[in-house]
């Protein structure tokens, strides 16, 4: 079972704003380790969406933004589009497990 | 552009060893770490381990030392051997560049463990 908890699903109408939370603990996000976010479209490999909690790789629209506070992180999608329907995963490092860990995943429905 | 492609048997018998190879193109393997990640059908992602181009490795402790990775920079490939497989190891296996974050991913290959 994952040490990073995400809501199973979120939904929104086109054009709306949705946020996805990623709750960790003092051995991962709370310890200061970076948080990254991945988007997995149906039937495809995950794609890096946000790295270092807030940075976007080249080519990722600025509709996607990340934040981090304490032992939690969040991904926000503004101006929701049909093409944003996907599974989203957060990822960090856990010093107790000495392993890279992923969140439980959130399905976004538009 | 950076491309990764997994290859290997799609079916492995219980108790045997799963062997996969990742072919890298568009970038030299030197200077990077290379990882394997898996995803059981309908479930989340699990990091298996990484290997540096120099051969240094780190594995997920929860996998109880069943994973072993190797790298062949002359062929621009790295490999995963995963021993004593059970049905619980049925998953799509992805190879990726680097770690923290995993910035480039292969398309993934489904490996089914069944007799």
Find, in chain A, the residue whose alpha carbon is nearest to that of B106: A45
Query: In this structure, what token pair is assigned to residue B113?
Result: 């463990």
Q: Is A51 on the interface with B (CB under 8 A)?
A: yes
Residues of A in contact with B60 (CB under 8 A): 99-100
Residues of B in contact with A86 (CB under 8 A): none
Mapped onto helix, strand or coil, the DSSP state of residue B61 is helix
Query: In this structure, what token pair is assigned to residue A83?
Result: 């093409």
The share of chain B scoring above pLDDT 70, in percent, equals 100
- Spatial contact of B105 and B4, defined as CB atoms under 8 Å apart: yes
What is the average pLDDT across B33-54? 96
Question: Is A99–B62 a contact, with Cβ atoms under 8 angstroms apart?
Answer: yes
What is the per-residue pLDDT for B99? Answer: 87
The single-letter DSSP state of residue B45 is -
Q: Is residue B14's pLDDT more than 80?
A: yes
Mapped onto helix, strand or coil, the DSSP state of residue A83 is helix
- The string of pLDDT tens digits covering residues A8-50 is 999 999 999 999 999 999 999 999 999 999 999 999 999 999 9
Contacts of A37 (CB under 8 A, 6+ apart): A22, A48, A49, A50, A51, A64, A66, A75, A88, A89, A90, A91
């Amino acid at each position: 079972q994952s040490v990073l908890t995400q809501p199973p699903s979120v939904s929104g109408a086109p054009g709306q704003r949705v946020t996805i939370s990623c709750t960790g603990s003092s051995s991962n996000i709370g310890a200061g380790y970076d948080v990254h976010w991945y988007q997995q479209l149906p039937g495809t490999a995950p794609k890096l969406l946000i790295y270092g909690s807030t940075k976007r790789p080249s080519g990722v629209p600025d509709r996607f933004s990340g934040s981090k506070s304490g032992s939690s992180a969040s991904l926000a999608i503004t101006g929701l589009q049909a093409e944003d329907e996907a599974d989203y995963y957060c990822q960090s490092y856990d010093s107790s497990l000495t392993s890279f860990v992923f969140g439980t995943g959130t399905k976004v429905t538009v | 552009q950076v491309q990764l492609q997994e290859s290997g048997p799609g079916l492995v018998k219980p108790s045997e060893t799963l062997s996969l190879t990742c072919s890298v193109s568009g970038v030299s393997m030197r200077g990077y770490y290379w990882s394997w990640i898996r995803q059981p059908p309908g479930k989340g992602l699990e990091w298996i381990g990484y290997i540096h181009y120099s051969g240094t490795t780190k594995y997920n402790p929860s996998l109880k030392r069943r994973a072993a990775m190797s790298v062949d920079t002359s062929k621009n490939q790295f490999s995963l051997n995963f021993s004593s497989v059970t049905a619980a190891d049925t998953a799509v296996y992805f190879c990726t560049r680097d770690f923290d974050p995993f910035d480039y991913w292969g398309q993934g290959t489904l490996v089914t463990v069944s007799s």
